[in-house]
Amino acid sequence: MASLCAAAMAFALTGCPSDDGGEVGSSGETGMGEADEGTSAGEDTTTGTDDEAGETSTDAGTTDSSADTSEAEESTTTEDTGSCSDNDECLDEEICADGECVDANQFNYEIRVMAYTPPDCSDGLGGAEIAYYAYEDDLLIYESSESSCPAAWPSELFIYNPPGIFQIDFWELDTFADDLLIALCWQDEFSECTQIPKDILHDGELILDSQGTEIEMRFDPIL
């Protein structure tokens, strides 16, 4: 499990995988309910001979079994196709593309920094001016424009190519010397920067609020 770590500040966010608990099949519950109703109907309508009552009960049981089989076949067909309408219907490591669940790493992504707020927006001489630098595999892939603090660049985007190692640095710009505010990357179990986790790409966004620092980013697949 990767963790989002800040190189310039002493904090880290550790993500936890969502629990995928097994769901009780509704068709199984319905089948049980129908079987009980069939038995009750057989008992309530027993006005003829024992043979007639037996035939009624047998017919009801046959109908319930056929319904259960049909529901099971429909369920199997849906699962096999892997069809979807949005990412919520896919695994945490997948996204929904053209109606099918696909591994998140199969696409490139447009990344936007929607908001960034440091613990303090003053720079000693007034409001701070902020810019960010994005890196993939240790190569600079994008340098943002300047933004006043609190900062936002919703109209700017850059392209990320999984599984490239990703890092983004936020700087306070100064006339004499720029100051690194925070450097962020996801780290593996060896504390090395790694790719953006698939579950983050699946969610399509990152919202971070820790120790006075707020960051919001969007990740949109290029389909």
Question: For residues 30 and 18, is the Cβ–Cβ distance under 8 A?
Answer: no
Condensed to tens digits (0 to 9), the pLDDT of residues 174-213 reads 878 889 999 999 999 999 999 999 999 999 999 999 889 9
For the segment 22-35, the average pLDDT, to the nearest whole number, is 34
Q: Measured between alpha carbons, how far is 46 from 60 in angstroms, rounded to an integer?
A: 14
- Report pTM: 0.64
CA distances from 127 to 56, 111, 118, 148 (A): 83, 26, 12, 7
Say if residue 16's pLDDT is above 90.
Answer: no
For the segment 133-138, the average pLDDT, to the nearest whole number, is 98
Question: For residues 214 and 182, is the Cβ–Cβ distance under 8 A?
Answer: no
Q: Measured between alpha carbons, how far is 34 from 28 in angstroms, rounded to an integer?
A: 10
What the block records as the tokens of 217 is 């980013």
**pLDDT, greater one: 58 or 6:** 6
- Confidence bin at 124 (pLDDT 50/70/90): low
Query: Which domains can be identified in the chain, with CATH numbers?
Result: 27-101 (no CATH), 105-221 (2.60.40.150)
DSSP letter string, the chain: --EEEESSSS-EEE--PPP-PPPPPHHHHHHHHHHHHHHHHHHHT--S-HHHHHHHHHHHHHHHHHHHHHHHHHHHHHHHHTB-SSGGGS-TTEEEETTEEEEGGGS-EEEEEEEEE-S--B-SSSB-EEEEEEEETTEEEEEPPPEESSB--TT--EEE-TTS-EEEEEEEE-SS--EEEEEEEEE-TTS-EEPPPHHHHHHTEEEEEETTEEEEEEEEE--
Say if residue 84's pLDDT is above 70.
Answer: yes
Tell me the range of 23-37, 117-131, 149-163 where mean pLDDT is highest.
149-163
